[in-house]
């Protein structure tokens, strides 16, 4: 083995094999290596010896253990002007230890690797590899290189020529450089070449398939164009189930819709398959053909049966049930007299179910559809902000589709379904439009028989659709939209109605969800009443449903762990065991000894609620401080109450001198909840009168009403919801404005029986009824006449 001392030259991301001639650009380190090689050649014994280097590959930051011994064949510059040398590799050498040498280059001792003698097996490998290599070059179209390969007779030279192969990765070329045995190199190359040839053949087959498919597509396109021209000349139409013209003509469409669809079919036949408009037209035609243009279900004529369905599904809600039965009765009479004209103006109905959460507005829609024997579709509108969601998108937009109303009709499969527009009060508006404004035509019985969706652009008859809209509050619904609907208020349930709902509906559902049966657990009616009274204070029954589910989960756990055996009975005494301490106490049980605190009534999105007003005086600059997130109207009510007392306090027996020297603070808990409205006027006046007179407000009394500057008690809204809230809270006496007396007819009889309702025309009456007797506080009483109605 020959040993040489040579300067090192590193090639990054490149491998030099013996026999290869490559140009190498010179940078700082490479220039040093080339200069050192020249210096060594000049100082050698023979001046004809060309300078030599050891060229080592550098891949991914790693240096090879074997390099190529290369001669500097030529020195010059590259086309870009940078200096370079041409290296010719003449052999292999293994990198040894570093030694000292001339110049700034890195010198090493290199052991030259000799090539073993060539045997017959190696020559056979060379012939086979040459055949595969020629096939590869032929596939790649490298005909000039084929001649060069054919002239190579030395197996070692043929194997090392793989250094020029672009289809070999550098790590494989390093493996060839480190293998001096020609037979092993040819064996490796033969394996790699066969794998690459197989890849080329697969890629060529794929290219041929794609080329054939493209040729076939172009050929079919030309034939279709020629066929269309021939059909146009003959005036003949094609037959087939997939042809849109045939489908449109067979469909049960109105004359205007058929004309519009045939116009689109004409456009489709004139368009090429490559045109994007073709897809848009097909989608539009599919939508038209899927709509049930003349499909209608038959309404039930059994009015009594429909009422039974409604009563079975929902307790209470008599106003809604009466309105549905009236609708059925009118339709039945029109049908009997031959007046049931399809598509007639105003033949539909639009009902708005307005009430707090949990009273059954959404589920009522399904019951109405079942009572009418119609299809039911729910359209959720909460948070919808795009007007196109209602009326559809114009077909000029990418991804355009019909609006939610059209999609609901298509989903129902009939033109007279019950469509529930859920949460219509939570529709928003932004730069994309106002969806509530788009609903104006949909919900107007005088217009919706010619409803036009932006996507369809044909008239759609919605007059036979029964629209039910649900909302928590009517205040946020635009007035124009609210005017088109018939509002039916659902003000909440009484305690007896909650117990009936829990017994007949909620408890069976909760038993099924908890995998229990009536044989496993018995929940007594008194337990249901205790849960409704002490653990829930809401207009609806959702909290009651969750409480029942909690009880049954704990019962299931008791039975599963074996803590109890046999059927479990849940009575009123056991409710605390499963639900913990009661969450609510009757307001009359609270301490009523503090002057300046009055109980009012309010209406929120969750139904009626109890509202407290607290008043206090303190030193400082005279004036009024208001807290509790009060709105402008409520702030003005407080100002009116203060002004009224300053002007008329003496007549009420209320000392008002302190108002001129002290600061008055009025607070309305809870402070984190915004509040507004005029109905707290009498409550604020009473709280201030209690504070100044030292007479506490009786804890069982609540009140509501707007107060004027002259002391008149003005009417307010939401009487039924407020009385239900007072009843739920355990209050026994309510003071209302005299002018709200007709509203008492809407209050359930059971609630009126439990409450003492006083009707006031002047705030002096409210003060007299609400405050504790003057004798108990050592204050002279002032007699004030008034009106009282004990109901």
Please list the active-site residues.
679, 722
47 is in an annotated binding site: no
Report how far Cα 748 is from the mean position of its chain's Cα atoms. 41
| Dist CA 92 CA 173 (whole Å) | 13
Distance (Å) of CA 505 to CA 26, 501, 541: 90, 5, 11
Radius of gyration of the chain (CA): 47
Q: Residue 448 contacts by C-beta under 8 Å, 6 or more apart in sequence?
A: 348, 441, 442, 461, 462, 463, 465
Distance (Å) of CA 481 to CA 408, 416, 436: 20, 22, 7
34 is in an annotated binding site: no
Classified as helix, coil or strand, 129 is helix
Write out the E strands in 401-544: 418-422, 451-452, 459-460, 466-471, 486-489, 521-523
Q: Output the six-digit token pair for 172.
A: 């494989």
For the chain, the maximum distance between any two Cα atoms, rounded to a whole number of angstroms, is 141
| Dist CA 342 CA 194 (whole Å) | 77
Sheet with strand 418-422: strands edge to edge: 376-380, 418-422, 466-471, 349-354, 486-489
Closest of 194, 188, 191 to residue 139, by C-alpha:
194
| Dist CA 682 CA 711 (whole Å) | 9
Residue carrying structure tokens 């599904």: 313
Which residues, in sequence order, are bridge partners of residue 23?
A: 86
Which residues, in sequence order, are bridge partners of residue 626?
A: 666
359 is in an annotated binding site: yes
Sign of CA dihedral 766, 770, 774, 775: positive
Residue 545 parent element (H or E): helix 542-561
360 is in an annotated binding site: yes
91 is in an annotated binding site: no
Write out the E strands in 500-605: 521-523, 568-570, 597-604
Contact call for residues 420 and 468 (beta carbons, < 8 A): yes
HEC string for 193-219: HHHHHHHHHHHHHHHHHHHHHHHHHHH
What is the bridge-based pairing of β-strands 418-422 and 376-380?
parallel
Half-sphere exposure of 151 (CA within 13 A, CB side): 4
Which residues, in sequence order, are bridge partners of residue 63?
A: 58
Per DSSP, the residues of 176-199 read HHT---HHHHHHHHHHHHHHHHHH
Burial letters 218-228, b for 16+ CB under 10 A, else e: eeeeeeeeeee
Residue 729 parent element (H or E): none
Burial letters 109-128, b for 16+ CB under 10 A, else e: bbebbebeeeeeebbebbee
The annotation places the binding site for ATP at 355-362
């Amino acid at each position: 083995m020959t040993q040489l001392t040579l300067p090192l030259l590193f090639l990054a991301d490149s491998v030099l094999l013996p026999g290869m001639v490559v140009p190498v650009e010179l940078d700082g380190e490479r220039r040093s290596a080339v200069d050192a090689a020249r210096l060594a050649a000049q100082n050698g014994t023979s001046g004809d010896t060309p300078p030599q280097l050891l060229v080592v590959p550098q891949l991914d930051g790693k240096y090879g253990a074997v390099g190529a011994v290369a001669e500097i064949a030529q020195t010059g510059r590259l086309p870009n002007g940078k200096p370079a040398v041409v290296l010719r590799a003449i052999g292999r050498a293994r990198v040894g230890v570093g030694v000292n040498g001339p110049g700034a280059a890195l010198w090493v001792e290199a052991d030259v690797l000799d090539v073993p003698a060539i045997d017959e097996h190696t020559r056979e490998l060379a012939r086979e590899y040459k055949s595969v290599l020629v096939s590869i070059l032929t596939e790649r179209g490298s005909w000039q290189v084929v001649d060069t390969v054919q002239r190579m007779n030395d197996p070692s030279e043929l194997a090392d020529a793989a250094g020029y192969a672009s289809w070999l990765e550098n790590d494989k070329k390093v493996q060839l450089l480190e293998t001096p045995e020609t037979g092993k190199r040819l064996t490796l190359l033969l394996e790699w070449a066969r794998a690459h040839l197989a890849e080329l053949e697969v890629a060529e087959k794929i290219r041929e398939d794609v080329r054939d498919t493209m040729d076939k597509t172009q050929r079919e396109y030309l034939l279709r164009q020629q066929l269309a021209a021939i059909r146009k000349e003959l005036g003949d139409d094609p037959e087939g189930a997939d042809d849109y013209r045939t489908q449109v003509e067979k469909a049960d469409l109105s004359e205007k819709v058929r004309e519009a669809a045939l116009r689109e079919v004409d456009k489709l036949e004139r368009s090429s398959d490559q045109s994007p408009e073709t897809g848009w037209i097909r989608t539009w035609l599919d939508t038209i053909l899927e709509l049930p243009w003349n499909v209608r279900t038959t309404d039930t004529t059994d009015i009594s049966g429909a009422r039974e369905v409604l009563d079975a599904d929902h307790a209470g809600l008599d106003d809604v049930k009466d309105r549905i039965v009236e609708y059925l009765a009118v339709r039945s009479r029109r049908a009997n007299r031959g007046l049931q004209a399809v598509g007639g103006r105003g033949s539909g109905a639009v009902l708005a179910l307005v009430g707090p959460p949990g009273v059954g507005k959404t589920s009522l829609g399904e019951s109405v559809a079942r009572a009418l024997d119609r299809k039911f579709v729910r359209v959720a509108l909460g948070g919808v902000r795009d007007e196109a969601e209602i009326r559809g998108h114009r077909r000029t937009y990418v991804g355009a589709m019909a609006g939610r109303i059209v999609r609901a009709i298509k989903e129902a499969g009939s033109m007279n379904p019950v469509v529930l527009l859920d949460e219509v009060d939570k529709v928003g508006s932004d730069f994309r439009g106002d969806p509530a404004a788009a609903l104006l035509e949909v919900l107007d019985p005088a217009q919706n028989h010619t409803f036009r969706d932006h996507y369809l652009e044909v008239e759609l008859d919605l007059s036979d659709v029964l629209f039910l809209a649900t909302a928590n509050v009517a205040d946020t619904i635009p007035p124009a939209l609210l005017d088109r609907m018939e509002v039916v208020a659902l003000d909440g349930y009484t305690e007896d109605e909650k117990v009936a709902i829990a017994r007949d509906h909620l408890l069976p559902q909760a038993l099924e969800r908890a995998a229990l049966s009536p044989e496993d657990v018995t929940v007594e009616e008194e337990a249901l009443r205790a849960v409704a009274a002490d653990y829930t204070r809401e207009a609806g029954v959702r909290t009651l449903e969750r409480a029942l589910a909690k009880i049954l989960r704990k019962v299931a756990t008791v039975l599963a762990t074996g803590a109890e055996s046999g059927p479990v009975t849940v009575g009123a005494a056991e409710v605390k065991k499963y639900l913990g301490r009661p969450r609510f106490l009757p307001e009359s049980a609270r301490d009523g000894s503090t002057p300046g605190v009055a109980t009012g009534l309010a209406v929120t999105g969750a139904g009626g609620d109890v509202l407290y007003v607290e008043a206090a005086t303190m030193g400082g600059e005279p004036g009024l401080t208001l807290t509790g997130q009060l709105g402008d109207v409520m702030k003005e009510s407080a100002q009116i109450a203060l002004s009224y007392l300053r002007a008329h306090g003496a007549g009420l027996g209320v000392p008002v001198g302190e108002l001129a020297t002290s600061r008055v603070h009025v607070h309305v808990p809870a402070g984190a909840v915004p509040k507004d409205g005029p109905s707290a006027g009498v409550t604020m006046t009473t709280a201030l009168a209690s504070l100044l007179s030292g007479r506490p407000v009786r804890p069982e009394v609540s009140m509501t009403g707007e107060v004027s500057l002259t002391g008149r008690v003005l009417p307010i809204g939401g009487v039924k919801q407020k009385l239900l809230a007072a009843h739920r809270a355990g209050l026994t006496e309510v003071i209302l404005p005299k002018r709200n007396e007709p509203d008492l007819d809407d209050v359930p009889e059971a609630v009126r029986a439990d409450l003492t309702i006083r009707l006031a025309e002047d705030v002096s009456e409210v003060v007299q009824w609400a405050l504790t007797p003057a004798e108990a506080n050592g204050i002279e009483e002032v007699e004030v006449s008034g009106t009282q109605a004990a109901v």
